Amino acid sequence: MDLHLDLERAAGATLRARIENALRDAIRSGLLAPATRLPASRVLSAQLGVSRGVVVDAYAQLAAEGYLRARQGAATTVAAGATAPPPPSLPTARAATIRHGLSPFVPALGGFPRSAWRTALNRALRSAADERLGLPDAAGVPELRQALASYLARSRGVRAVADQVVICNGLRQGLGLLWRALGADGAQRIAVERPGWRGIAETAQDAGLDAVPVAVDADGLVVDQLAALDGIDAVAVAPAHQYPTGAVMPPARRAALVAWAQEHDALIVEDDYDAEYRYDRQPIGSVQGLAPQHVVYGGSASKSLAPGIRLAWLVVPPQLVEPIAALQRRRGGMPAALDQLALADLIERGELDRHLRRQRRRYRRQRDALLRALAARLPQIEVQGAAAGLFVVLRLPPATSEAEVLRHARALGLALEGAGAADPAIVVGYANLAEAAIASVVDALAASVRSAT
């Protein structure tokens, strides 16, 4: 093992004194923690370019002073209690203990297909060509781009070839690249849903673009308001399951949105974040399938597998592929090639489809149990957005303080999101909510609503 000792700056007239003082200072300051193994005297003497006897004597002196622990036949280690005590920490307010995470953004992490993922990774390690271990293609490995093009075509009605798929390190990163590519081409104003996922506006603003809010109603983004705005270069929408309202954009409004994009030569950025999960309605195809030249389709593995996988994709019109890939190449942050190959393997072998079927059954049971509990314990609350996704929206009484509900719920151990809309509402994610805990969670929600009404 290597050990850095700055003998030039250490006090002492002799080499032994400088070694002793350098080690003593490192131990006192905490750079060398208790139980840290030091190099053997032979190794350290070679590193420092001194005789072994000098190091042996320095170790012996520090052991006699209680800084080191030396035993015959065992490694020399830093003695317990030899380091200076840490400075006292400043008092902090005690945070409430979170017993139930009700985030709408996180799937059931315990349901992650560990065995299938491990098998896919092992298969990628065995079969990947050596060049796959070099610098990855900035647009993604060809295997995953092809697998996604085929998968999205059959499952979401996306019309694209593999060359139009760009793999990115999470959808936030991909959107940031997209906005910068559009800005470099002259775009200035992006329309965003309000209320909506804040990541859209944040990434657009980080790229130097104006994020212009457009209202959302029971059918999703209000296209009539969009059409009344001037100078909009792109609009970001979640038509299959709007966050946080749960609205599904009907065919007539989708057609109006596409007509607006074609008339203004603008771009639709489709956030298809959880379309894999639907319960009480038929699957709804992508808007991209209606107008491939005017739509960027974004998706990720965050809801289908886990956010920690950090794999997302953009399906873009051909003229945007190279600008986005060039930005990713310059900025770095491409996903690991082996992870990309593993996901391609899961898709090609049908493992992702099997996993999603299992998860849909699981989430439907949890959703149904939550709806029953809400009907029994909070009958006065309107529930929306339950037909798909991983969350429901609870519309609160008009006089209710949304912030107070969230504060009281956190004090009771519930972590959940507010809708941030004009009318008070909270978003309850149920993917990681055990069925046995649903009744007590809804009781806590009811208490929180009463306290804020």
Higher-confidence position of 48 and 295: 295
Identify the sign of the CA torsion 223, 229, 234, 236.
Answer: negative
- The first and second tokens of residue 296, run together, are 């960027």
With CA atoms as reference, report the closest residue to 277 among 111, 389, 429: 389
Q: Does domain 15-78 have CATH number 1.10.10.10?
A: yes
Domain boundaries, the chain: 15-78, 100-106+354-451, 113-350
76 token code pair? 């020399």
Tell me what the pLDDT averaged over the chain comes to: 92
CB 431 within 8 A of CB 306: no
CATH of domain 113-350: 3.40.640.10
Q: What is the pLDDT of residues 153-182, one digit of tens each?
A: 999 999 999 999 999 999 999 999 999 999
Runs of H (alpha helix) within 208-270? 223-227, 251-264
For residues 29-41, give the mean pLDDT.
89
Using only C-alpha atoms, what is the Rg of the chain?
29
Distances (CA, A) of 298 to 214, 250, 283, 326, 450: 20, 20, 17, 18, 39
The two tokens of residue 268 are 């639709």
Amino acid sitting at position 231? G
* CB neighbours of residue 284 within 10 Å: 20
Nearest-CA neighbor of 352 among 386, 295, 311, 387? 311
Residue with more model confidence, 121 or 30:
121
pTM: 0.85
- The Cα-based distances of 386 to 98, 239, 272, 299 in angstroms read 24, 15, 17, 21
Residue 85, pLDDT above cutoff 70 = no
Q: Does residue 50 carry a pLDDT above 60?
A: yes
Answer yes or no: CATH 3.40.50.970 is held by domain 100-106+354-451.
no
Cis peptide before 195 (omega within 30 of 0): yes
188 DSSP assignment: -
Match 């985030």 to its residue by tokens. Answer: 103
Structure-token pair, residue 303: 């809801």
pLDDT at 353: 96
pLDDT band at residue 452 under the 50/70/90 scheme: confident
| Token digits of residue 347 | 């898709």
CB 377 within 8 A of CB 442: yes
Which residues, at least 6 apart from 405, have a Cβ–Cβ distance to it below 8 Å?
396, 418, 424, 426, 448, 449, 451, 452
Q: What angle do CA 167, 169, 170 make, to 5 degrees?
A: 100
CB 388 within 8 A of CB 248: yes
Where is pLDDT greater, at 422 or 328? 328
Instruction: Give the contacts of 404 (CB within 8 A, at least 6 positions apart).
Output: 451, 452
Question: Cα 120–430–314 angle (5° rounding)?
Answer: 50
Weakest mean pLDDT among 19-33, 360-374, 434-448? 19-33
pLDDT at 93 over 60: no
What is the signed CA dihedral for 236, 241, 243, 247, rounded to 10 degrees? 100
